[in-house]
């Protein structure tokens, strides 16, 4: 009974103090697709992705009712960095759902203004946003009406000026004036509490906390850029504590006769050679509160064994010493020459394999369909030898003979099969993520094997020249390329044996793999050259290739392939592929297979559609 009354009392207090409109809530997931298109239409920096923003502590002044209810301590603020725009999972600050939706689009427009040098030097949060608003409204005149409508409705919901003390009232008046007149650059007075949340403005990136930067810049500036972030942290609290070698084990805290247990997990985030975050992510998900401390221990004496790489005796056969390829650094806007090393491999002792029984029926149907793509048999005239006499050549020969200029060469014709001016490389992602299961029945790698087998069976029926490669990577050296079928090899039992022997491993440095296959394809004499990429996720690797860097390098590699006369096309089973693939490949050069089990049947048919013209 006591718990029920307390729960009811809390609900009443929360409802009284809640300043949002849940019935008008607009969720990001429902408009994310449109918002991405809008963001890329406005933004010169088209590589931005949209992510969920976490809650952050906001030390605004609260009344006694809000303190009793325990709310208004956190806000979900919009912010951006060089990789992503971080938006709230839902917005309900307006009574009108249309205004809440417009706020999402305004924030996307505001984030499209890349700060110039003079803008990035502005320390004041309010001045920074005023300059951003000026640039946004100047460059996108159509947003003016939407902006002023949002400001007018927002000011109605801001704190009453009469209830504020002198300094707080002055700060509130300045914020209101800045919203209404962004061209008037203003400064906020120093106050004890933060001003009320301004949802129309961008906030400071959470990873750029000034205190942490000033303290850790000398030791950790280079290392911090290379660490993979632990995701799904929106429900976590964090606090800063002093470093102590003795704070290990379990800590019991007695509060109001209730014991709570917190486990201390020592996770060192300052060292560049700490790449595997699985343990850190698991620990973080299990904790309700995360404590962060600064540790100045040196790492010069650390010794690390890499257990991921197989020994030479167990690894596949290395064909050569490696091929050096460049990589695109989007921050410098230049290609770093000889930055990646491609290692060509062949499966050791693959043996000869027959087509699996569960694929034979599908392969037979596909072969019949693909035979229609093969050019019809045709007569070749003017041959030295042949099945029939070339009548036109013979008449010309008889006339020339009477004139004394006879030449008895090329008087026959022969029936030969036609040949399409087409070649293709299928580049398959063999990263460790392909080891995951689908519906507890199939692994992704098994689906990829079936896809490669049916692809080979189908193209064999057309007579088109093709090659099949698999790739994975572990940093920039090496990028492992498995030669499953070369252009000058026949598709046979050995090829099937190689495909059946492939194993998942490592990561997805897609840009280097695309550059490698581009070189292979450009050496082929055919006029039409197709590069099909089969993957299950975004480009990623252990180093800075995770995130924006990998996306930009992949996009640059695709542009290079197109300039070389290739036609790149991506097939993915990543359900989030529509969020980033249009930026990489364009709107008509990719497809997302929602049901991965259909991939083996769909890929050959996609090839038929792409090459039918």
pLDDT in tens, 358-393: 999 999 999 888 877 766 556 667 777 777 887 888
Buried b (16+ CB within 10 A) or exposed e, 571-599: bbbbeebeebbbbbbeeebbbebeebeeb
Please state which of the ranges 18-32, 104-118, 220-234 shows the lowest mean pLDDT: 220-234
Better-scored residue on pLDDT, 48 or 498? 498
Query: Among 166-175, 275-284, 325-334, which range has the highest average pLDDT?
Result: 325-334
> Whole-angstrom Cα distance, residue 498 to residue 481?
13
Q: Name the pTM for this structure.
A: 0.67
Is the pLDDT at 46 greater than 50? The verdict is yes
Better-scored residue on pLDDT, 192 or 339? 339
Q: How many CA atoms lie within 13 A of 317 on its CB side?
A: 10
What are the residues whose beta carbons fall under 8 Å from the beta carbon of 506, sequence distance 6 or more? 308, 430, 431, 432, 472, 473, 474, 480
Q: What percent of the chain has pLDDT over 90?
A: 37
Q: How many CA atoms lie within 13 A of 350 on its CB side?
A: 24
pLDDT at 120: 55
pLDDT at 275: 41
Please state which of the ranges 85-89, 147-151, 232-236 shows the lowest mean pLDDT: 232-236
pLDDT at 197: 86
Is the pLDDT at 226 greater than 50? The verdict is no
Residue with tokens 């509130």: 172
| φ, ψ for residue 183, nearest 5 deg | -75, -15
What are the residues whose beta carbons fall under 8 Å from the beta carbon of 365, sequence distance 6 or more? none
Write down all domains in the chain, each with its CATH number in brackets.
2-208 (no CATH), 318-371+420-611 (3.40.50.410), 380-415 (no CATH)
Better-scored residue on pLDDT, 57 or 298? 57
The pair of three-digit structure tokens given for residue 524, joined into one six-digit string: 């082929």
Four-CA torsion 359, 360, 365, 367, nearest 10 degrees: 100
Better-scored residue on pLDDT, 204 or 25? 25
> CA 473, 479, 481: angle at the middle one, nearest 5?
105
> Whole-angstrom Cα distance, residue 103 to residue 470?
45
pLDDT, average across residues 249-264: 42
DSSP result, 550-593: HHHHHHHHHHHHHHTTEEEEEEE--TTHHHHHHHHH-TTSEEE-
Q: What percent of the chain has pLDDT over 70?
A: 71
> Whole-angstrom Cα distance, residue 84 to residue 50?
6
Alpha helices in 329-474 (DSSP H): 357-371, 391-402, 444-462
Strand duo 289-292 + 237-240: pairing: parallel
Residue with tokens 């694929």: 359
Please state which of the ranges 431-445, 466-480, 559-573 shows the lowest mean pLDDT: 431-445
Q: Convert the pLDDT of each residue in 61-74 to its tens digit.
A: 666 555 655 555 67
Better-scored residue on pLDDT, 285 or 556? 556
> Whole-angstrom Cα distance, residue 347 to residue 500?
10
| φ, ψ for residue 230, nearest 5 deg | -85, 125
| φ, ψ for residue 602, nearest 5 deg | -75, -35
Is the pLDDT at 307 greater than 60? The verdict is no
Q: Convert the pLDDT of each residue in 20-33 to its tens digit.
A: 788 999 999 899 88
pLDDT at 216: 36
> Whole-angstrom Cα distance, residue 521 to residue 515?
10
Q: Environment class of residue 378 by beta-carbon count within 10 Å: exposed (0-12), middle (13-18) or buried (19+)?
A: exposed
Mean pLDDT, rounded, of the chain: 78
Q: Where are the beta strands (DSSP E) in 70-225?
A: 74-75, 79-80, 84-87, 90-91
pLDDT, average across residues 400-424: 75
pLDDT at 405: 73
> Whole-angstrom Cα distance, residue 409 to residue 385?
9
Residue 464's pLDDT band (cuts 50, 70, 90): confident
Is the pLDDT at 563 greater than 50? The verdict is yes
pLDDT at 214: 38
């Amino acid at each position: 009974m006591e718990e029920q009354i307390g729960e009811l009392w809390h609900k009443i207090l929360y409802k009284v103090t809640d300043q949002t409109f849940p019935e008008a809530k607009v969720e990001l997931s429902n408009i994310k697709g449109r918002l991405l298109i809008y963001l890329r239409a406005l933004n010169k920096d088209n590589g931005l992705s949209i992510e969920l923003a976490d809650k952050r502590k906001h030390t605004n002044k609260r009344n006694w009712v809000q303190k009793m209810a325990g709310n208004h301590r956190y806000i979900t603020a919009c912010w951006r960095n060089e990789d992503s725009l971080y938006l709230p999972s839902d917005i309900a600050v307006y009574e009108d759902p249309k205004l809440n939706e417009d706020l999402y689009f305004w924030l996307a427009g505001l984030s499209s203004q890349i700060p110039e040098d003079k803008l990035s030097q502005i320390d004041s949060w309010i001045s920074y946003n005023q300059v951003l608003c000026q640039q946004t409204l100047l460059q996108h005149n159509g947003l003016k009406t939407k902006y002023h409508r949002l400001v007018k409705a927002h000011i109605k919901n801001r704190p009453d000026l009469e209830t504020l003390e002198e300094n707080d009232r002055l700060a509130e008046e300045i914020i209101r004036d800045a919203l209404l007149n962004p061209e008037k650059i203003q400064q906020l007075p120093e106050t004890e509490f933060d001003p009320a949340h301004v949802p129309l403005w961008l906030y400071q990136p959470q990873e750029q906390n000034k205190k942490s930067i000033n303290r850790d810049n000398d030791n950790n500036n280079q290392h911090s850029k290379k660490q993979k972030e632990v995701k799904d942290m929106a429900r976590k609290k964090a606090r800063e504590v002093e470093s102590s070698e003795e704070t290990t084990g379990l800590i019991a805290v007695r509060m109001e006769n209730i014991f709570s247990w917190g486990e201390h997990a020592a996770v060192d985030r300052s060292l560049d050679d700490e790449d595997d975050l699985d343990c850190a992510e698991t620990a973080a998900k299990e904790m309700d509160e995360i404590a962060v401390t600064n540790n100045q221990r040196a790492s010069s004496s650390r010794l690390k064994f890499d257990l991921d790489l197989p020994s030479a005796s167990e690894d596949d056969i290395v064909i050569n010493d490696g091929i050096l390829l460049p990589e695109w650094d989007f921050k410098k806007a230049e290609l770093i020459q000889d930055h990646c090393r491609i290692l060509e491999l062949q499966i050791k002792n693959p043996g000869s394999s027959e087509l699996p029984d569960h694929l034979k029926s599908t392969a037979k149907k596909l072969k019949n369909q693909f035979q229609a793509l093969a050019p019809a048999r045709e007569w070749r005239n003017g041959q030295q030898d042949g099945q029939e006499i070339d009548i036109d050549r013979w008449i010309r020969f008889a006339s020339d003979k009477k004139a004394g200029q006879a030449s008895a060469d090329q008087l026959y014709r022969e029936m030969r099969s036609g040949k399409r001016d087409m070649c293709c490389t299928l580049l398959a992602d063999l990263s460790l993520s392909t080891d995951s299961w689908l519906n507890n029945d199939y692994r992704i790698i098994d689906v990829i094997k079936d896809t490669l087998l049916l692809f080979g069976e189908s193209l064999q029926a057309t007579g088109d020249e093709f090659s099949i490669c698999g790739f994975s990577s572990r940093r920039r050296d090496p990028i492992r390329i498995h030669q499953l079928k070369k252009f000058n090899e026949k598709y046979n039992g050995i090829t099937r044996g190689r495909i059946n022997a492939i194993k998942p491993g490592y990561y997805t440095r897609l840009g280097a793999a695309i550059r490698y296959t581009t070189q292979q394809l450009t050496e082929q004499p055919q006029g039409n050259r197709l590069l099909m990429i089969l993957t299950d996720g975004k480009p990623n690797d252990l180093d800075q290739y995770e995130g924006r860097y990998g996306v930009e390098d992949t996009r640059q590699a695709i542009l290079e392939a197109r300039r070389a006369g290739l036609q790149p096309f991506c097939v993915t089973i990543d359900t989030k592929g529509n969020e980033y693939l249009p930026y990489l490949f364009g709107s008509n050069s990719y497809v997302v297979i929602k049901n991965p089990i259909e991939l083996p049947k769909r890929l050959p048919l996609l090839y038929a559609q792409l090459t039918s013209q």
